[in-house]
Structures are given as C-alpha cells and as structure tokens.
A and B are shown apart, each in its own frame.
Chain A
Amino acid sequence: EAGVVQSPRYKIIEKKQPVAFWCNPISGHNTLYWYLQNLGQGPELLIRYENEEAVDDSQLPKDRFSAERLKGVDSTLKIQPAELGDSAVYLCASSPVRGARTGELFFGEGSRLTVL
C-alpha cells in the first residue's frame, strides 16, 4: 500500500515569492492534516480536513496561508507571499479515523522549504 505522498521534497525560494505544496493521502483516508515542523521542535497543526471540509484551521495564518482539498482526496497548501520565518518542513498526514476519535497519523516525507 502506498503511503502519504508529498511534493516537492525540497523548495528554495526568495522571500515574497509564492510556494505551493501538494499532498496525496493514503487511499480511503478521510482525514488529512497539514503540520509545520521547525528544526528541533514537534509538529504544529496548521489545518485538519475531514473529507473536503476544513474542520480545524484555527492555527492557519490566513493572511498568507491557504489550503484546499478539492474532492476530499489530494490537498494543496499555499503560502503567498513567503517570509523568512516560513522556512520549515511542511508535513502532511492522513488518518482513516473521522470525527472526535483520534487514530494513528500516517505522515508523508515532508516538504522542506527554505526562504532566502
């Protein structure tokens, strides 16, 4: 079974430029998460989807970050414009568990962003 697929693995951009990350979750997983991970820290939730609905986006900086999950499968996370402080690894995770229950999160390899 294929795991969570993310692209690109690495991205280097100059500040003020836009960037987008793509995630394909494990087939059949209804819940999809985007996390941000800074070096030496734990993952921080940006947004959680159940199917195509964003059920928790309270931590998403909406002035520059946006996300979508059309058709409830693949998802895209966009940053426009990027700032120096956005340099981090962006992790996508999926879970077969919906609603209030919390099950195992399956993480992708992550997209490492460097903003110059």
Chain B
Amino acid sequence: GQQVMQIPQYQHVQEGEDFTTYCNSSTTLSNIQWYKQRPGGHPVFLIQLVKSGEVKKQKRLTFQFGEAKKNSSLHITATQTTDVGTYFCAGKTSYDKVIFGPGTSLSVIP
C-alpha cells in the first residue's frame, strides 16, 4: 500500500546544532504538510508545500518539496530547546488520502 516514511526516527542534538528530517513517499504526492507535536500534546500545523521543488522558510525552519513530489525535508538551523518534539510529514496522495509519516522525534540537549 501507499506509505510515507521518515528518517531518522530519533535525533538528539546539542543546542545550536542543525537538524534535518527527511520524508519519502512510495507514490507521487499532490502536496505535503508538516506538523509538530510536543510531548503530551497534539499535532500542530507548520506548513503546506504544493509545487514541485518548492522551498519555504519560517524563521529558522526550511521546508523543501522534491522535484518528483515524492520526498520532502525539514531543516532547522541552530536548534533551541523550544524545538523539542516530534515532526510529522503528511502527504496527500492521488487517491485523496492524507497519510502521516511515523515522525522524527527531536531532543535538544541544552
């Protein structure tokens, strides 16, 4: 079946280091969304990418959508303790389904 994978599953970084999580789909996506879930919280929308090769920035966060619209990445520059949480990508398939990846859990060591 259609799958959305994310790597790595866990990432521990020293505060100030950069962080990247990668999202890969087995099929071409119509768009991709990114969500952040703090420990004990619920997913919160970060951004949506629609166009092939699209790049969007939100302060220290950079989001990319691959040219083939099958992969995406989230890069955080100079992590802070407030970045702690699990980052999920969610891809919309051609069958109009939104499939969440398993998430990348980020820990930031002060």
Contact = CB atoms under 8 A, between A and B. Distances in A.
Interface in B83-110: 88, 90, 92, 96-103, 105
A100 B50 CA distance: 13
A104 B97 contact: no
Interface residues of A, number: 19
Nearest to A35: B100
Contacts, number: 49
A31 B67 CA distance: 30
B88 A102 contact: no
Given A42-B100, A44-B100, A106 B88 contact: no
B103 A42 contact: yes
Main secondary structure of the interface of A (DSSP, over half): loop
Contacts of B92: 102
Contacts of A35: 100
A104 B48 contact: yes
B42 interface: yes
A85 to B, nearest CB: 18
A102 B98 contact: yes
A108 interface: yes
Interface of A: 35, 40-45, 56, 91, 100, 102-110
19 contacts: A35-B100, A40-B103, A42-B4, A42-B101, A43-B43, A44-B100, A45-B97, A45-B99, A91-B42, A102-B31, A102-B98, A104-B33, A104-B45, A105-B33, A105-B90, A105-B98, A107-B44, A108-B42, A110-B42
